[in-house]
Structure 1
Amino acid sequence: MELRIVATDLPGRSCAPGPGFPGADEVHGGVQRRGRPGELLGLRPGDAPDATWSLECAAVRTPRGVDLRGPYLQGGPHARFVYLSWGSVDRAGGFAMFRRAKLMLDAVEPETVEAAVVSGVLVARLGLTDGRGNPLCAAVRPPAVTWSAG
């Protein structure tokens, strides 16, 4: 099965300073691999018009319903999420993470998950800029994200 994340409204290449945070330049975002915080899928510049990430996952039936599993899905059974990591990229290409958003899969309606198992695609649509104009962070659930079967 494919988990497709379709993102718009990226925050730009700079992040303003705030309490306890000096700000950041050359902002990029990507999907963090489970157990490997430095390994990111599809690193995109913060000023891109949009971003799409496609993650392969398995839909496993359990007594509690469908559990999604895969190398980019974090968390335990039925409490999975995807980390969208934000960081600065230096001239050598090094990535220094400064915040993350948790795209919560336990917030997907069971009917939507079942339809996605049939279609083979679960789609998340969201904007990646928070109310202050910075990269989206914290737990992301509806209405900040819309889930559908592909």
Structure 2
Amino acid sequence: MAHDVAVRIRVEAHDLPGVRCAPDGDRVHDNVHVGLQARGRQDALLDLQRGDAIGAVWTIDCTVTSGPAGVDLRGRHVQGRPGARFLYLSWGDVDAAGTFAMFRRAKLMLDAVPADVLADAMRGGLLVGRLGLTDDRGDPLCAAVRPPRVTWVAGSSEPPGQPGGAG
């Protein structure tokens, strides 16, 4: 019998690449921002952050279903098919009117979360992914992101200062 568990996912990013880059060697992007993309909506970004921010944090709610077919994560920001779920961090330029034009994305692969960490997150209510957002060439991180590039840990969704809290 399947059962659903509410889990909060928090992505904690550091080492952002800056607001100017030319990752393809030709076109210069000069007002780079990054946000967590909603499923199927390149224009729906959660908490758009400047590329030169000290750090960035995105927090989303999802549902983890555990059943005979295995474990599956679902939610407004969870992309992909069962067994191959991921989160998109979308990079783009923001023009003077505030319009975001995506030029690259990073896929945080949720199937790479260790099973024991996901089980602990289901008990505690919080899954945390920590990663740097600058690639080896100094550009915005892109492509599929798996450990060791991202570290996944479980926490408690209890408020800070409460017994068992992550804070």
Could you report, residue by residue, the CA deviation over 1:86-137 in whole angstroms, capped at 9, with x for unpaired residues? 0000010000000000000000111110000000000000000001111000
Q: TM-score, normalised by structure 1?
A: 0.96
Answering whether residue 54 of structure 2 is matched by residue 49 of structure 1, we say yes
Answering whether residue 8 of structure 2 is matched by residue 2 of structure 1, we say yes
Distance 1:30 1:64, change over 3 A: same
User: How far does residue 63 in structure 1 lie from its aligned partner after superposition?
Assistant: 1.7
Distance 1:90 1:147, change over 3 A: same
State the match for 1:61 in structure 2.
Answer: 66
Q: Which amino acid aligns with 1:36?
A: R
Could you report, residue by residue, the CA deviation over 1:49-99 in whole angstroms, capped at 9, with x for unpaired residues? 000000110011122432111000000112100000000000100000000
Conservation of the 8 A alpha-carbon contact between 1:66 and 1:113:
no
Q: Distance in 2 between matches of 1:124 and 1:37?
A: 22
State the match for 2:19 in structure 1.
Answer: 13
State the match for 1:115 in structure 2.
Answer: 120
Distance 1:17 1:127, change over 3 A: closer
Q: Find the residue that maps to 1:11 and give its secondary structure.
A: coil
Runs of 4+ aligned residues of structure 1 deviating over 4 Å after TM superposition are none
Q: Distance in 2 between matches of 1:124 and 1:18?
A: 27
Aligned alpha-carbon RMSD (Å): 1.0
Gaps of at least 5 residues in structure 2 are: 1-6, 156-167
Q: Distance in 1 between matches of 2:23 and 2:113?
A: 33
Q: Distance in 2 between matches of 1:63 and 1:135?
A: 39
Gaps of at least 5 residues in structure 1 are: none
Identity of aligned residues (%): 59
State the match for 2:40 in structure 1.
Answer: 35
